[in-house]
Amino acid sequence: MNPVLERFAGQTVLVTGAGTGFGAEIAVRAAQEGADVAVHYRSSRAGAEATAQRVTELGRKAFVVQADIAEHEQIKRLADEVWAHFGRLDVAVNNVGDVAREQMSWRDITEESIDHVLAVDIKGTLLCTHEFGARMLEQEGGGSIVNVGSTVVVRGSARAPQYAAAKYGIIGLTKSYAQAFAPRVRVNVFAPGFIETAATLGRDDWKGGRGEVLRAATPMGRIPGPEELAGTALFLATEDARHITGGFLIADGGYNMVGA
pLDDT mean over 238-256 = 97
CA distance 243 to 183: 9
pLDDT tens digits along 43-86: 999 999 999 999 999 999 999 999 999 999 999 999 999 999 99
168 is catalytic: no
Provide the 8-state DSSP code for 219. T
User: pLDDT category, 2, cuts 50, 70, 90?
Assistant: low
- Catalytically annotated residue among 163, 168, 177, 255: 163
Domain ranges in the chain are 12-251
Q: Do the Cβ atoms of 25 and 195 come closer than 8 Å?
A: no
pLDDT tens track for 119-132 = 999 999 999 999 99
Q: Note the pLDDT of residue 34.
A: 98
Q: In this structure, are residues 20 and 195 in contact, taking their beta carbons and an 8 Å threshold?
A: no
- Indicate the SS3 state at residue 93: strand
Q: What's the predicted TM-score (pTM) here? A: 0.95
> What is the CATH code of the structural domain delimited by 12-251?
3.40.50.720
Q: Is 194 exposed, middle or buried (0-12, 13-18, 19+ CB in 10 A)?
A: buried
163-215 pLDDT tens trace: 999 999 999 999 999 999 999 999 999 999 999 888 888 887 888 888 899 99
- pLDDT at 260 (0 to 100): 61
- Laid out side by side, the sheet with 91-94 consists of 62-66, 36-41, 12-15, 91-94, 143-148, 185-192, 248-251
Contact 38, 88 (CB under 8 A): no
